[in-house]
Amino acid sequence: MLYAAGGLALKTGQHVRVEVPAAANDDPAPDGDYGTCVPAGKQLHPLRRKAIELARSQVGLVNATKYERKGWERQAEYQKIGYPTCSLDPNNWQTKKNFEWCGVFCAWALVSAGVTTKTWSEQGIPKGEKAPRNMKDMFPMRNLFPAGVRDAELPNITPGDVLILNEYYHHMLCAKRSGSEIVVIQGNGVCEAITEKSVSFGKMQAYFHVMDEDYV
């Protein structure tokens, strides 16, 4: 008498098909998690992955209303790491917003992930002057990345890059791209919340290519 996997008894000469489970994927985040932009046989660079996962870990942790400022300690941390030269007391976040912090949130994720050691720096608009329509030369985040701002190559956006919306020059971290469909993680949204959502190319004016290496 023979026994197949699971203890099933078989008569001598009887054939049985035994399914062998596929090997487990040791990769912490399969390519598909970052969209079809990842070339076949490649993986998104580990530092880009880390920045995305750090940003994603903050989703839902901040929410500010007139009654409560949930997660203000997280905002203080983003300031300390992403914008350490800011003269405003990080503890102010407990009762009020120190500044518009969407870009600083992106800087926090990138610095914390080891993508860059450079932090947000202020290059503000002179008081009383209106912001120009094209602000690419004024973005504080410009100093973080040698590649600078790209505005004519939106189809080349790589997960981990920082995107800039036309409206309010809002900064967001790209988490996934499949063709022209992009998923972002953003800070300082409605009620200062951190959310993950889809956006389209048509709403963006430029992006920062945060590191030379995209895939490995």
- CA–CA distance from 152 to each of 41, 42, 136, 157, 207 (Å)? 27, 25, 12, 11, 9
Mean pLDDT (whole number) for 144-152? 66
Q: Is residue 15 part of a domain?
A: no
**What confidence tier does 167 reach under pLDDT thresholds 50, 70, 90?**
confident
% of the chain exceeding 90 in pLDDT:
54
* DSSP characters over 3-20: E-TTS-EE-TT-----PP
**Burial environment of residue 186 by CB neighbours within 10 A (0 to 12, 13 to 18, 19 or more):** buried
Which residues, 6 or more positions from 5, have their beta carbon under 8 angstroms from its beta carbon? 18
The domain of 78 spans 32-208
Distance, in Å, from the CA atom of 156 to the CA atom of 143, rounded to the nearest integer, reads 21
| pTM of the complete model | 0.79
* 79 sits in which H/E element: helix 72-82
Give the per-residue pLDDT at 14: 45
Q: Is residue 49 part of a domain?
A: yes
Q: Is residue 180 part of a domain?
A: yes
Distance, in Å, from the CA atom of 156 to the CA atom of 134, rounded to the nearest integer, reads 20
Assign residue 179 a region (left: φ > 0; alpha: ψ between -120 and 50; beta: otherwise).
left
Q: Is residue 214 part of a domain?
A: no
The average confidence (pLDDT) of the chain is: 80
Q: Is residue 124 part of a domain?
A: yes
pLDDT above 80 (res 28): no
Q: Locate 46 and state its tokens.
A: 């580990």
Distance, in Å, from the CA atom of 109 to the CA atom of 28, rounded to the nearest integer, reads 18
pLDDT above 80 (res 140): no
82-128 pLDDT, tens digit per residue, is 999 898 999 999 999 999 999 999 999 999 999 998 888 765 444 45
Q: Please tell me which residue, 146 or 88, carries the higher pLDDT value.
A: 88
pLDDT above 80 (res 13): no
37-95 pLDDT, tens digit per residue, is 999 999 999 999 999 999 999 999 999 998 999 999 999 999 999 999 898 999 999 99
Distance, in Å, from the CA atom of 151 to the CA atom of 136, rounded to the nearest integer, reads 9
Q: Is residue 182 part of a domain?
A: yes
**Burial environment of residue 5 by CB neighbours within 10 A (0 to 12, 13 to 18, 19 or more):** exposed
Q: Is residue 14 part of a domain?
A: no
Q: Locate 205 and state its tokens.
A: 């004016």
The number of distinct structural domains making up the chain is 1
Give the per-residue pLDDT at 155: 82
Q: Is residue 27 part of a domain?
A: no
